[in-house]
């Protein structure tokens, strides 16, 4: 009897690959890392680090193989700067990193925790040592945002997740200069009822450009009597008109099942903010926050993700 769901992402046997015990200075937890490959092939994770006061900053960890041997900055890499950017008064969180060839820079889109809730902020770096901030580009309540790596026509495109009432959907906005944003469009709605992605969804890592379209890994939140469960699904968007959703999964494809994912500061959470793609163009490493406490690694195949998505019945 074949009653097993396919395993699209295989967890690494060293999971969790990073915990607070690895940190060179005192912290409460480390999770939700942005990820990128540096020019020399080194994997860099820009990790959300939570202090004992509950506020977060960002800290970089580097590894030659993206699995172990992590070299962690001995001090916070990017701290909140509420003196110059008052919207960062309660911390900075959940970075997504996009390498932008036109700018020859890494663009970091992150959550600035304002007095009025989370907003979307943007910064640039060439080396993850110094940063140029643009500040808030989407006001509260808005988060789960990432930049596409090149212009669509003449405009930059940003995926983000504003909150309206008790529901939260995924939107796209466009900009000529990365500062002024408009042409806002709803591109995918949270479902209703008992679905795994009912009421609240959001972008997880930055979208992945494939020959078939922009591949999105997104999270959905199911609310039940025991609380919330964060799981992951897939969707595909048109290459030239990324506001058009071509295909969306019905089933979730990755969810909390290991002890380090089911129990922590926030139980039953898998939450990736970054992926890297191997030189073969297919192998994908997904780095995710586990229960808002540690960082896990799971590996899959882009071809298999797309095949599974196309196999989903709508």
Q: Identify whether 167 is preceded by a cis peptide bond (ω within 30 of 0).
A: no
pLDDT band with cut points at 50, 70 and 90 for residue 314: low
Round the CA-based radius of gyration of the chain to a whole number and report it.
18
Tokens 């959940």, located at residue: 94
Confidence of residue 166 (pLDDT cuts 50, 70, 90): confident
pLDDT digit string, tens, across residues 244-299: 999 999 999 999 999 999 999 999 999 999 999 999 999 999 999 999 999 999 99
Q: What is the mean pLDDT of residues 234-239?
A: 98
What CA–CA distance (Å, rounded) separates 232 from 269? 10
Query: What mean pLDDT is predicted for residues 81-105?
Result: 98
Token pair listed for 80? 């909140």
Contact at 8 Å (CB) between 286 and 271? no
Which pLDDT score is estimated for 225?
84
Contact 181, 137 (CB under 8 A): yes
Q: What was the pLDDT predicted at 2?
A: 63
Q: Dig out the tokens for 189 from the structure.
A: 């709605």
Q: Nearest CA to 139 among 163, 157, 170? A: 163
Mean pLDDT of the chain: 96
What whole-number distance in Å separates Cα of residue 70 and Cα of residue 43? 9
Which range among 220-229, 230-239, 280-289, 297-306 shows the weakest confidence by mean pLDDT?
Answer: 220-229
pLDDT for 29: 98
CA gap 234, 215 in Å, rounded: 7
* pLDDT tops 90 at residue 165: no
**What's the CA gap between 66 and 69, in Å, rounded?**
8
| CA max distance for the chain | 62
First to last CA, the chain: 25
Whether residue 19 is predicted with pLDDT greater than 70 in this model: the reply is yes
Q: How far is CA 6 from CA 67, 230, 252, in A?
A: 24, 19, 11
Question: H or E element: which one contains 310?
Answer: helix 302-311
What is the pTM for the complete model shown? 0.97
Q: Is 309 helix (H, G, I), strand (E, B) or coil?
A: helix
Average pLDDT over residues 19-31: 98
CA-CA distance, 158 to 10, in Å (whole number)? 29
Chain segment 172-188, per-residue pLDDT in tens: 999 999 999 999 999 99
């Amino acid at each position: 009897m074949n009653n097993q769901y396919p395993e699209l992402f295989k967890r690494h046997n060293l999971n969790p690959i990073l915990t607070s015990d690895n940190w060179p200075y005192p912290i409460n937890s480390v999770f939700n890392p942005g990820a990128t490959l540096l020019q020399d092939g080194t994997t860099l994770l820009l990790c959300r680090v939570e202090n004992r006061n509950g506020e977060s900053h960002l800290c970089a960890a580097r590894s030659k193989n993206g699995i172990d041997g992590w070299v962690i900055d001995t001090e916070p890499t990017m701290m909140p700067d509420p003196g110059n950017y008052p919207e960062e008064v309660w911390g900075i969180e959940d970075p997504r990193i996009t390498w932008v060839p036109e700018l020859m820079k890494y663009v970091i889109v992150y959550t600035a925790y304002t007095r009025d809730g989370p907003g979307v902020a943007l910064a640039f770096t060439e080396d993850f040592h110094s940063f140029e901030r643009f500040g808030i580009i989407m006001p509260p309540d808005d988060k789960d945002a990432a930049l596409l790596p090149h212009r669509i026509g003449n405009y930059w495109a940003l995926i983000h997740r504003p909150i309206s009432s008790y529901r939260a959907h995924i939107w796209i906005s466009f900009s000529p200069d990365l500062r002024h944003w408009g042409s806002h469009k709803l591109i995918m709605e949270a479902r209703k009822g008992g679905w795994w992605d009912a009421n609240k969804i959001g972008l997880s890592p930055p979208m992945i450009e494939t020959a078939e379209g922009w591949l999105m890994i997104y999270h959905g939140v199911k609310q039940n009597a025991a609380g919330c469960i964060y799981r992951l699904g897939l969707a595909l968007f048109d290459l030239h008109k990324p506001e058009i959703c071509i295909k969306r999964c019905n089933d979730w494809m990755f969810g909390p099942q290991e002890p380090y994912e089911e129990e922590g500061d926030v139980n039953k959470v898998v939450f990736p903010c970054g992926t890297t793609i191997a030189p073969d163009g297919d192998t994908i490493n997904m780095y995710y926050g586990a229960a808002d406490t540690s960082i896990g690694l799971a590996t899959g195949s882009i071809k298999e993700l797309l095949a599974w998505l196309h196999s989903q019945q709508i």
